[in-house]
Amino acid sequence: MPVVARVEYASAEDLGAIQSRNWRLQREFVAARSRYYRNRGAPPLDLRDLPAYPTTDKAALREDQRADPPFGSYLAAPIEAVTRLHRTSGTTGQAMNLALSAADAAMTAIVGARSHVACGLRPGHRVVHCLNYQLWMGGLTDHLILEATGATVVPFGVGDTELLVRTIRELGIDAIYCTPSYPRRIEEVIAESFPGTRPRDLGLRIGLFAGEGGLDNPGFRARLEATWGLKARNTGYGVSDVLSTVAGQCETQNDLHLMALDVVYAELVDPDTGAPRPWAAGAQGELVLTHLEKDCQPLVRFRTGDVVLVTATERCPCGRTAPRFRVVGRSDDMVIVRGLNVFPSMVEAALSSLAELSGAYRIVLDGPGPYDRLPLHIEVADDRFLSEETAAKIARRLKDDIRVTAEIRLLPPRSLPTTAGKSKRVIRN
């Protein structure tokens, strides 16, 4: 099944024909080769009938790999076809082993490159890759995705931020690929080790961000762009079990386009009941993904755990036809406070305009909930803001904007860790 060129611009009719053709072949492959899905019963012949088929999730895949190591019974290709192995961090449970065939790897690079090109990365750009190059999918795989755009890729990885600053200056690098929280750490190193240098003096023009939320917060995005003198773009929304990059932003607006609709079929469901929800502007639900093209570990109706809000379905000014959406939060990061569903992204949006704060915070939970108050550890921008007045101002803002009562603990500047990797916003004790 060849990856379709320019599929992001296809009409609904053409896209439907592509998806139906690919699903017929993929469904036959899954039914014949995947013991996991043979035990569940063959998936339906028509994509429109998928909502009646049971979903699977990370917990089920973990259990399957535990019972049938190393790749689980959902490995559908011969073991000899596995040409690359990635592994998840296992920070929220058992580490998962991810298998790719040569065809899987090539498809992943082509589809992922669509997102980076949509964000403006082109041949002639020099982009420094600052994600972990160890077993994680975002290292080597995303490096090869960046190469597929035709840009010159500098494989830096994580650690030694002072060397990174020197490398950017010496090599004339004009684009960076990292998590949205990492620039804050770079700013600290510039202030400590490069006196008289401002972040915008490094000459970065494109910021390609992935791995965590933040860019949906207008205040955070505006500060990032003003401080660095670059265009901040959300280029790498992905789900490791499904595809390294499923969606990305374009140059004309700030929401995410589904970029993989020839190889992945997307549904929305109610996070609590699993009932289907429509792809319509204003709809919100958990994203469920099905492979239309995958050799090694094909998945049917995989619950991602990501709750998304559909923002538009008409053709974008950039010409792309795929629905646009924002990631509201993780279903496992959702905190119920007196019957209200609260996500970290909602807290960020409420606090983003408060100059007294650094932008770093944690939701620290004791016990399983539900909760009467939202327990927050919040870092201030300067010691003079460690006051009851600041805490009261934060509490009023949260009450006005998201209708929750907060239990606030203010922390001095730089109390919370900064990292080149993902920032964890919800701590469950």
Tokens of 65: 């790999």
Mean of the per-residue pLDDT values for the chain?
91
Q: Which domains does the chain have, with CATH numbers?
A: 1-327 (3.40.50.12780), 334-428 (3.30.300.30)
Position 428 confidence tier, pLDDT thresholds 50, 70, 90 = confident
**Do the Cβ atoms of 161 and 128 come closer than 8 Å?**
no
Check whether 423 has a pLDDT greater than 90.
no
Digit-coded pLDDT (tens) for 46-92: 999 999 999 999 999 999 999 999 999 999 999 999 999 999 865 55
Digit-coded pLDDT (tens) for 138-164: 889 999 999 999 999 999 998 899 999
Comparing 100-109, 141-150, 234-243, the range with the smallest average pLDDT is 234-243
User: What is the reported pLDDT for 368?
Assistant: 73
Digit-coded pLDDT (tens) for 153-197: 999 998 899 999 999 999 999 999 998 889 989 999 999 999 999
Query: For 177, how many CA atoms within 13 A lie in the half-sphere containing its CB?
Result: 34
Phi then psi dihedrals of residue 199, to 5 deg? -55, -40
Determine how many CB atoms are found less than 10 A away from the CB of residue 7. 21
Check whether 226 has a pLDDT greater than 80.
yes
Tokens of 398: 């949260």
User: Residue 336 burial by CB count (10 A; 0-12/13-18/19+): exposed, middle or buried?
Assistant: exposed
Position 1 confidence tier, pLDDT thresholds 50, 70, 90 = very low
- Residue by residue, DSSP assigns 286-329 as EEEEEESS-SSS--SSEEEEEEEEEEE-SPPTTS--S-EEEEEE
